[in-house]
Chain A
Amino acid sequence: MAAETTSLQPDVLKALRFPIVVADILRKRNVMKKELLRQANLVPTRIAILGGSTTTEVKSMLELFLLAQGIAPTFYESGYNRYSEDVAFENPDLWNFKPNIVLIHTTWHNISEFPELLEAEGEVEQRVRREMARFESIWEKIHTELGALVIQNNFDLPRLRPLGNLEASESFGRMNFVLRLNAEFAKYARAHSRFLINDILYLSTQVGQAAWFRSSYWYNFHMAVSPTATVALAHNVAAMVKSVYGKSKKCLVLDLDNTLWGGIIGEDGVQNLILGKDHPVGEAFLDFQRYVKGLQRRGVILAVCSKNDAENAKEGFSHPDSVLKLEDFSAFKANWDPKPENIRSIAAELNIGLDSIVFVDDNPAERDFVAEQLPEVAVPNVGTDVSAYAEVLEHERYFEADKVVQDDLSRSAYYNSNAERNAGQSKFSNYGEFLESLEMTAEIASFVPVYLERITQLINKTNQFNLTTRRYTSAEVIAIAGDPRFITLYGRLADKFGDNGLVSVLIGRVSDETLQIELWLMSCRVLKREMEFAMFDGLVEQCQARGIRKIVGVYIPSKKNHMVAGFYASLGFSPVDKASEGSELWSYDVPTTYSPRTRHIRRTAEVQSTVPTPDRESVASEA
């Protein structure tokens, strides 16, 4: 959740969480907006809403949900149904607005023409192609001219079915046509990185057709989505935007008894736990475990926080029907200590912020205690009915991802192997020997297309080792990668325990013989491994090759990056100036001969790990 939320009236944020009471939001939106704007450190963004119907409610609700995520939007709204013309004719107001994100709010009403009755399949296919061409021209112009991320509604279903159930099966049926278009939209999304689908087909089924579309709002206001359903739409779009800005949660901390299985392991024993298909409640727990496992597989870190003896707690995972296994968890706290203390310890162990954590517990007293002691931790009110746990987590979209990249799949493995790394340290008399024993290799090179997704993800998620905390959209990263005025570096690090993945990013702007570092960050996974020195070695090499004589480092203090306040000094930079708003400039003269700073990392053309890494080709992402 956003920084500085503790000063907000708690009712404001509560009203925007599950279960949302739409009437409360409608009634109190003005007050809520004023309260949310009081937050500090809001991340600004510019969002253009291009409407195929009236968009005032979309804008109003989207603003609330974005503010609740710590994002402060400025909006551009197209004229009524001008979503296509605004782009095709390069409306100067839109072009000058320079949006970061363009939301195209179209619905089935904006489909140019549906197939005629008994139209041949070939002709229907031509209609699909024409419709796709129309939309693709809009998307591509936005990408190439505005460089913005596109969030495009897919299509909801028409309200009426003149052909009855044949609408679904016949190629000239309207339902069939909508689903074909949606499939084409999805195909486009898979092939393009700066393009996300707002799945209004799903949303309309979630709220129900009767609530989604109301004739009175359409005929009186040309609102294609009713005001109450617009709340769900705005919540969904805000979830995607928050993901793009790196504000999705990273870790799910779970209680055990009556959360992951029915019963109390310490009293009932593993054999009497309620878990499995033979019991209705047991099947619900099984399904919840499957849901959690699915999150873990795509990169959400799992941790346990349970009031239990540790050995009893672990035994629960030996139940034959347990889908989750001990090794799925990157941190495990089973003891009789207060849960807030354990959660703090988990955050420290995993080196993540408390605001990256979601805590799930069936016990309302434990939930309240954690929520009160650790306001940064998200504590959804899951109730006590396990069949609703996943639905509550789903609704809050805590772990929304705008893309799943290769590094996400191996995140748990990294955290688990980190325990091995850290355990090894105690065997060595000095830290240098320990680092040497890791047999680290690093690949440091200019940005390449295959890593741009991960680079963009890191840029928008890294807070602590981040000298400037500048955020870039994927469009901006792509542009910088191809711009000779920039020196770009990424760094991958591996050791004998495994591949840490892409962990560091640097962007420097060249001006004559000077390079100014506009972005330098590193994942906290690899702190104190000398990776920052390896990156600096790579940077100096590039500067020497290009005849750059001076490197200027910029440090912009934030609430989270104090650890790097003295970083440039440690590299031998000299202070130049304190610029505006507390930021600092540091200078380094590039020497003619340079001795690499790294002592314990071998630079390679490719990262080498003795641990097999998953096949990259299996990842469904843009190459």
Chain B
Amino acid sequence: MNRDEFLLEMDEILDLPAGTLRGHEKLEELQNWDSTSLITFIALAETNNGVSISPGQIVTCSTVADLLRLARAESRAS
């Protein structure tokens, strides 16, 4: 999944119009970044990319781009 595809997917998860997220957004400032969207992110990473991400890893992320880096890093590691 490339960066644009990832951002579009995050737009959907967070119920934002397509093309809203650019990557620099802080997770804590996103209204719909909650436990449900966190679980969705983890489940999609597993389902789509076969990568296992834990909440402990997500805690280290502060922006949307951090999530992308995490997903890619796990993908390379797996």
Q: Do A and B make up one complex?
A: yes
Q: Which A residues lie at the B interface, using CB under 8 A?
A: 22-23, 26-31, 56-57, 60, 214, 216-217, 220-221, 223, 226-228
Shortest distance from the beta carbon of B65 to any chain A beta carbon, whole Å: 19
A-B pairs with beta carbons under 8 Å apart, 27 shown: A23-B44, A23-B47, A23-B48, A26-B13, A26-B40, A26-B44, A26-B47, A27-B13, A31-B12, A56-B35, A56-B39, A57-B39, A60-B36, A214-B46, A216-B42, A216-B52, A216-B54, A217-B39, A220-B54, A220-B55, A220-B56, A221-B39, A223-B39, A226-B43, A227-B40, A227-B42, A228-B46
Inter-chain contacts of B15 with A (CB < 8 A): 30-31
Bound-state CA distance A29–B43 (Å) is 13
Inter-chain contacts of B40 with A (CB < 8 A): 26-27, 29, 227
Given A30-B15, A221-B39: A228 in contact with B55 (beta carbons within 8 A): no
User: Known contacts A23-B44, A27-B13; can you find 12 more A-B pairs with CB under 8 A?
Assistant: A26-B13, A27-B44, A28-B12, A29-B40, A57-B36, A216-B42, A216-B52, A216-B54, A220-B54, A221-B39, A227-B43, A228-B46
Inter-chain contacts of A27 with B (CB < 8 A): 9, 12-13, 40, 44
Shortest distance from the beta carbon of A145 to any chain B beta carbon, whole Å: 32
Evaluate contact between B43 and A228: CB separation under 8 angstroms. yes
Bound-state CA distance A142–B46 (Å) is 39
Q: Which B residues lie at the A interface, using CB under 8 A?
A: 9, 12-13, 15, 32, 35-36, 39-40, 42-44, 46-48, 52, 54-56
Residue from the set B43, B44, B46, B56 with the largest chain A CB neighbour count within 10 Å: B43
Inter-chain contacts of A227 with B (CB < 8 A): 39-40, 42-43
CB contacts between A and B, total, < 8 Å: 47
Inter-chain contacts of A226 with B (CB < 8 A): 43
Inter-chain contacts of A30 with B (CB < 8 A): 12, 15, 32
Closest A residue by C-beta to B37: A30
Closest B residue by C-beta to A26: B40
Inter-chain contacts of B43 with A (CB < 8 A): 26, 226-228
Q: 7 shortest A-B CB distances, which residue pairs?
A: A30-B15, A227-B43, A27-B12, A23-B47, A220-B55, A26-B40, A26-B43
Shortest distance from the beta carbon of B16 to any chain A beta carbon, whole Å: 9
Bound-state CA distance A143–B17 (Å) is 45
Instruction: Please classify the interface of chain B as helix (H, G, I), strand (E, B), loop, or mixed, using the class held by over half of its residues.
Output: helix
Closest B residue by C-beta to A30: B15
Inter-chain contacts of A223 with B (CB < 8 A): 39
Bound-state CA distance A151–B78 (Å) is 40
Shortest distance from the beta carbon of A531 to any chain B beta carbon, whole Å: 51
Shortest distance from the beta carbon of B19 to any chain A beta carbon, whole Å: 15
Bound-state CA distance A214–B47 (Å) is 12
Bound-state CA distance A27–B37 (Å) is 9
Inter-chain contacts of B52 with A (CB < 8 A): 216
Bound-state CA distance A26–B32 (Å) is 14
Closest A residue by C-beta to B32: A30
Evaluate contact between A56 and B36: CB separation under 8 angstroms. yes
Bound-state CA distance A239–B61 (Å) is 39
Bound-state CA distance A397–B36 (Å) is 27
Bound-state CA distance A3–B64 (Å) is 40
Bound-state CA distance A495–B54 (Å) is 68
Bound-state CA distance A499–B48 (Å) is 56
Bound-state CA distance A23–B12 (Å) is 11
Bound-state CA distance A221–B52 (Å) is 14
Shortest distance from the beta carbon of A53 to any chain B beta carbon, whole Å: 13
Inter-chain contacts of A214 with B (CB < 8 A): 46
Bound-state CA distance A491–B15 (Å) is 52
Shortest distance from the beta carbon of A50 to any chain B beta carbon, whole Å: 19
Bound-state CA distance A393–B43 (Å) is 28
Bound-state CA distance A221–B55 (Å) is 9
Shortest distance from the beta carbon of B34 to any chain A beta carbon, whole Å: 10
Shortest distance from the beta carbon of A61 to any chain B beta carbon, whole Å: 11
Inter-chain contacts of A28 with B (CB < 8 A): 12
Bound-state CA distance A31–B47 (Å) is 20
Closest A residue by C-beta to B56: A220
Shortest distance from the beta carbon of A175 to any chain B beta carbon, whole Å: 27
Shortest distance from the beta carbon of A24 to any chain B beta carbon, whole Å: 9
Bound-state CA distance A56–B40 (Å) is 12
Bound-state CA distance A214–B46 (Å) is 11
Given A30-B32, A216-B52, A220-B54: A22 in contact with B39 (beta carbons within 8 A): no
Closest B residue by C-beta to A223: B39
Closest B residue by C-beta to A59: B36
Bound-state CA distance A216–B9 (Å) is 22
Bound-state CA distance A392–B38 (Å) is 32
Bound-state CA distance A23–B5 (Å) is 14
Shortest distance from the beta carbon of A49 to any chain B beta carbon, whole Å: 15
Inter-chain contacts of B13 with A (CB < 8 A): 26-27
Residue from the set B15, B32, B39, B48 with the largest chain A CB neighbour count within 10 Å: B39
Bound-state CA distance A83–B12 (Å) is 33
Given A27-B12, A30-B15, A31-B15: A22 in contact with B36 (beta carbons within 8 A): no
Inter-chain contacts of B56 with A (CB < 8 A): 220
Bound-state CA distance A56–B34 (Å) is 12
Bound-state CA distance A228–B46 (Å) is 10
